[in-house]
Amino acid sequence: MKKGFVFDLDGVITDTAKYHFIAWRDLAKEINIDVDLKFNEQLKGISRMDSLERILAHGGRSDDFTPEEKAALAEKKNTHYVELLQSLTPADLLPGVHDFLDGAQANQVPCAIASASKNAPFILEKLGVADRFAAIVDPASLHKGKPDPEIFVKAAELLGFQPEECVGFEDAQAGLDGIKACGMYAVGVLSGEPLHGADITVHQLTELDIPELLQK
């Protein structure tokens, strides 16, 4: 019997991948690197600095910037990204999310957020669902990013459960690998490329029946 739900944010609760893409694409352009939508798939679930490193490697420029310059580039991307986030409203919840969170509450299943994003609390406020989550893992407190399972183990711990007692929801392969590595039941939410290794995949949370999911 499952007792808790652990959600990724970007691509599961709301579609912020398009804003991450715009902000990285524009930043990369300034340093003469082309980032397209296909390459952007690789950045899903990956931390801000790791994303920058992947972009620099993609453009053959890994050794061209000092740590201070890299920090400034990441900060510039984030400033643009946060500007784009200002227009978010509750209407930007992905289809079925609102009802699913209502269903979780009705079934007394506490929910946590396991997102690599340092902007998660702000995004949840803009979406009007911050009070639906009993816990939000602080990504700054982690030693390793996804696909390491640390963030999911921490989310389960904050809910007071073992990972095996939780269901994890992810749209990125890196996150899905982390969920499986700690023994959680994995729901893959398809938003782009196919996902491998999920226990079940859906296009929208509306496809799931909560009492049935809790029996897994």
Q: Which residues bind ligand BG6 (CB under 6 A)?
A: 9-10, 20, 43-48, 51, 78, 115-119
Q: How far is the CB of 17 from ligand BG6 (least distance, A)?
A: 7
* Catalytic-residue membership of 10: yes
Between strands 135-136 and 166-170, the pairing is unpaired
Helices 48-58 and 17-30: crossing angle in degrees, nearest 10, is: 50
Length reported for the chain = 216
Indicate the Cα dihedral angle 9, 14, 20, 21, nearest 10°.
130
DSSP type of residue 10: B
118 touches, from ligand BG6, Mg ion, none (C-beta below 5 to 8 Å by class): ligand BG6
Nearer Cβ to ligand BG6 (73/210): 73
Question: Is 38 marked as binding a ligand?
Answer: no
Nearest to 3, CA basis, from 210, 198, 149: 210
- Residue 10 is a binding residue for Mg ion (CB under 5 A): yes
| Strands ordered across the beta sheet of 200-202 | 135-136, 111-113, 4-7, 166-170, 185-189, 200-202
Nearer Cβ to ligand BG6 (130/214): 130
Q: In sequence order, which residues have a C-beta less than 8 Å from that of residue 30 and are 6 or more positions away?
A: none
171 touches, from ligand BG6, Mg ion, none (C-beta below 5 to 8 Å by class): Mg ion
CB 129 within 8 A of CB 93: yes
Three-state DSSP state, 28: helix
Question: Is 126 marked as binding a ligand?
Answer: no
119 touches, from Mg ion, ligand BG6, none (C-beta below 5 to 8 Å by class): ligand BG6
Question: Is 208 marked as binding a ligand?
Answer: no
Residue in 4, 5, 11, 28 binding Mg ion, rule: CB under 5 A = 11
116 touches, from Mg ion, ligand BG6, none (C-beta below 5 to 8 Å by class): ligand BG6
Question: Is 93 marked as binding a ligand?
Answer: no
* Catalytic-residue membership of 8: yes
Nearest to 175, CA basis, from 191, 158, 159: 191
Provide the annotated binding site for Mg(2+): 8, 10, 170-171
Provide the annotated binding site for substrate: 8-10, 24, 43-48, 51, 77, 115-119, 146
Interacting residues with Mg ion (CB under 5 A): 8, 10-11, 171-172
Catalytic residues: 8, 10
